[in-house]
Amino acid sequence: MTYSTKLFIVLQGILFLLLSIFLQFPYVNTNEVELRKLLFHKRSYDRRVCPEAGITKVHTNLILLQIESVDEKAQVVTSNVQLICAWCDPYMSWNISRYNITELSVGSKHLWTPDVVLVNSADGKYSRNREHYALILRHDGYVRFMFQDLWKTICKVRSTYFPFDQQHCTIIIRSGSRDVQSIKFIQRRPLVGRSFIRGEWELINSYTEITDERVSDFGQVDYSLVRFTLILKRNYVHYFMKIILPFTLVSFVTLFTFLLPPQTGEKLTLNVTILLSLVIYLQLLSGYIPKSDDETPILTLFCNANFFLVVLSCIMTVYVSYLYHRPSTSYIACVPTHMKIILLDYLSPLVYCHVNKHLRNRQLLQHDMEEKRPRRLSSIEKHMCQLFTVTAPVRPHNHQAVELLKILHQIKAHIRSQWLIPLNSHNEYDIGNEFLKIDNRKRLDEWQHVALVLDRLFFILFSIAMPCTALLFVFPHSSIGNNFHSNLTNIKVQTSDAKCDLIYTPMIT
């Protein structure tokens, strides 16, 4: 066999294979085209009429993909959802053994679809996104319609426990023109593997309720309503790390202002700096806190409470500084008796600010001042008189001694008239001033000790008040008022899907 003969046999095989493939595709395509012509063109089909005689059972299920936004002021929740509806259309069934096709993708304009409307819609425009989605038609007449849309629903948003809040929102759907005698909604089996896209909100739980209710008083007609209840929880990590924690730490720095000594003069400066920092944080918080008219968020109360404590600490710091640095006047008032008893006697040991050691140091200082104080001028005069006094038995032996004694008496008289009397009066005035200064110093020491006791007392009070405000803010979200989990979350509802192969026989054989 020559080389050309072998090449001819190979090319003949390839040509035969390609010819068989091209002949098979038109055959399959002809089956689908023929089936579509029989289903939608050669037979009369009115898509405005319900497919089943009597009540058409529509199995429905809602898949929440993401919470787009929550408007607390307008009480509107925008959610990205997928709605799945399944029903039986016996008029659209065929024999699978003849056409070898199990299912078709059909546009919504060729088949009947339930006119689902959103009852609690907050959007005035009717969404037509569902018209762009195809339906899945199975050989036994099973039809599945799944479309995705953004729904704006009215929801009572409670912003009291922001950002630790949970919301209880409901999406209600029904047929727009068919009552319960024509369309009956049934909960469909949930899809496995669908995950919620976590953003600011997290889906905690969901359940479905199907009831027959009268929508309006016009006509004695009931409609089949489906309530998809969603329990949402806000992700508070962002708010806690970016807002709450820094605001709390800045507020807690206020405690250290009471630990600074009053004589430093930096207590009020630190307080004013903290106050300005909190004002800046409040400006940032105003953009995050929900604006609700009927409820005040607990975060607002927490910020206002901390701001009030910082302002109060500024006032207390000014008062303590005023008590410690009393005005330097000629007379300082005494500490009132009741203040001495309450602050110095009772509260001073409790706040670990003892008065005995302080007073002992002041007494030692006063004793040193008295030791260094000059003697009284009367004692100097006494010594001088003893020096110039001559006793009676003394007899001068000569005239020079008598003259010397007279000169000494004249010196004594001159000293007494010129020095001792003015010095004595001036000394008495200085003594009075010295005693007044010592008395004023004692009173000033008492006022300073009162200021120290009050400073330590304010530190203890603020150390208790600030953690209490933080605890009252963090833990109320777990209280009964914020617990949205009701008994309905534990209801076990029977779910099913449309089963058409057990009920209807194929219409096209």
Residue 176 maps to which CATH number? 2.70.170.10
Query: For position 501, what pLDDT does the model report?
Result: 62
> Token digits for 319?
């008062």
Query: For position 19, what pLDDT does the model report?
Result: 64
Domain count, the chain: 2
Q: What is the pLDDT of residues 287-327, one digit of tens each?
A: 777 777 677 888 888 888 888 888 888 888 888 887 777 66
Quick one: 210 and 295 in the same domain?
Answer: no
Nearest residue to 464 via CA among 326, 228, 258, 270? 258
Quick one: 230 and 251 in the same domain?
Answer: no
Q: Is residue 399 part of a domain?
A: no
Q: Is residue 190 part of a domain?
A: yes
Quick one: 266 and 226 in the same domain?
Answer: no
> Token digits for 87?
């029903």
Rounded CA separation 207/117 (Å) = 19
Quick one: 365 and 229 in the same domain?
Answer: no
Residue 15 sits at the vertex; the CA angle it makes with 9 and 17, to the nearest 5 degrees, is 105
State how far Cα 507 lies from the chain centre: 62
> Token digits for 230?
């969603």
Quick one: 332 and 275 in the same domain?
Answer: yes
Quick one: 94 and 224 in the same domain?
Answer: yes
> Amino acid letter at 172?
I
Note whether 167 and 158 are within 8 A (CB): yes
Query: For position 59, what pLDDT does the model report?
Result: 92
Q: Is residue 395 part of a domain?
A: no
Q: Is residue 421 part of a domain?
A: no
Query: For position 484, what pLDDT does the model report?
Result: 45
Quick one: 256 and 207 in the same domain?
Answer: no
Per-residue pLDDT in tens (0 to 9) along the chain, 509 residues:
566 676 667 677 777 676 665 555 444 445 788 888 888 888 888 888 888 888 899 999 998 888 888 888 888 999 999 999 999 998 888 888 888 888 899 988 889 999 999 999 888 777 777 888 889 999 888 999 999 999 999 998 888 888 888 889 999 999 988 888 889 999 887 655 456 777 888 888 888 899 988 876 566 778 899 999 999 998 888 888 888 888 888 888 888 888 888 777 788 888 888 888 888 888 888 877 777 767 788 888 888 888 888 888 888 888 888 777 766 555 667 777 777 777 777 777 777 666 554 554 555 555 555 554 444 444 444 544 554 454 444 444 556 666 776 777 677 666 666 555 554 554 544 555 666 677 777 777 777 788 788 888 888 888 888 888 777 776 665 544 445 444 444 445 556 677 776 555 666 66
Q: How many CB atoms lie within 10 A of CB 332?
A: 18
Quick one: 378 and 347 in the same domain?
Answer: yes
Quick one: 154 and 190 in the same domain?
Answer: yes
Rounded CA separation 430/294 (Å) = 73
The DSSP result for 1-51, as a single string, is: --HHHHHHHHHHHHHHHHHHHHHHHHHHHHHHHHHHHHHHTSS---TTS-S
Rounded CA separation 141/162 (Å) = 50
Quick one: 250 and 377 in the same domain?
Answer: yes
Range of the domain at 457: 246-390+431-478
Q: Is 161 exposed, middle or buried (0-12, 13-18, 19+ CB in 10 A)?
A: buried
Q: Is residue 407 part of a domain?
A: no
Residue with tokens 């949205």: 484
Quick one: 448 and 344 in the same domain?
Answer: yes
CA separation, residue 216 to residues 150, 172, 221, 304, 437 (Å) = 26, 15, 8, 47, 92
Q: Is residue 420 part of a domain?
A: no
Q: Is residue 145 part of a domain?
A: yes
SS3 assignment, position 151: strand
What b/e readout covers 227-255, taking b as 16+ CB neighbours within 10 angstroms? bbbbbbbbebeebeeebbeebbebbbebb
Residue with tokens 């000569």: 398
Query: For position 53, what pLDDT does the model report?
Result: 82
Quick one: 220 and 273 in the same domain?
Answer: no
Strand partners, 138: 103
Q: Is residue 207 part of a domain?
A: yes
